[in-house]
């Protein structure tokens, strides 16, 4: 029930609203698993994201969809979540992982919500699980370290 309350707070935070531009100045994006794709997330997409949220101040976890076994679904860019998510999850491929470091003005600002103190910088480990209407890509087989960039195996006598 606690986790649900945090999800509601994540969604409800847009009702109070934090004024910020569409720039990513308040969001640091680190791509931790890069994925190539033809169709990236866009404003208006309904997406499914797994995440783990921690406080930058002490590393304490305050919420995680992984713990519930179900990704969080919402419409991107519509103000349904904190500004840092609407900015930080744009142009993302299915299967990509990002760590978002979100400044307070792109998170909950001066408000404290549950275990999140006011003026907190938040860190979210995110993984894009799906975009409604976009097929999931086929897994790409990992290349053996002995293979060249062309994908051809080296002859055994060259190893």
Q: Are 106 and 79 in contact (CB under 8 A)?
A: no
Catalytic residue, from 29, 45, 47, 51: name it.
Answer: 51
Q: Which of 45, 63, 86, 106 is catalytic?
A: 63
72 in Cβ contact with 8 (< 8 Å): no
Q: Which of 62, 72, 74, 106 is catalytic?
A: 62
Active site residue 63: yes
Concerning whether 82 is annotated as a catalytic residue, the answer is yes
98: nearest Cα among 149, 155, 32, 154? 32
Candidate list 108, 116, 123, 131, residue with the active-site label: 108
Per the annotation, the verdict on 116 as an active-site residue is: no
* Max CA separation in the chain (angstroms): 67
3-state secondary structure of 65: helix
Q: Which of 72, 74, 106, 124 is catalytic?
A: 124
Single out the catalytic residue among 29, 82, 102, 113.
Answer: 82
6, 114 Cβ separation under 8 angstroms: yes
106: annotated active-site residue: no
CA angle 125, 20, 92 (to 5 degrees): 35
Which residues form the catalytic set? 51, 62-63, 82, 108, 124
């Amino acid at each position: 029930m606690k986790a649900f309350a945090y999800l509601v707070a994540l969604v409800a935070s847009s009702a109070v609203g934090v004024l910020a531009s569409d720039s990513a100045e308040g969001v640091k994006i680190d791509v931790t698993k890069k994925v190539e794709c033809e169709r990236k997330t866009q404003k208006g997409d309904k997406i499914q994201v797994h995440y783990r949220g921690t406080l930058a101040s002490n590393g304490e976890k305050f919420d995680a969809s992984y713990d519930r076994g179900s990704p969080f679904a919402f419409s991107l860019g519509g103000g349904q979540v904190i500004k840092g998510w609407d900015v930080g999850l744009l142009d993302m491929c299915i299967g990509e992982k990002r760590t978002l470091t979100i400044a307070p003005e792109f998170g909950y600002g001066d408000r404290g919500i549950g275990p999140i103190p006011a003026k907190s910088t938040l860190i979210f480990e995110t993984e894009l699980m799906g975009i409604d209407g976009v097929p999931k890509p086929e897994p790409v087989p990992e290349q053996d370290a002995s293979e060249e960039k062309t994908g051809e195996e080296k002859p055994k006598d060259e190893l």
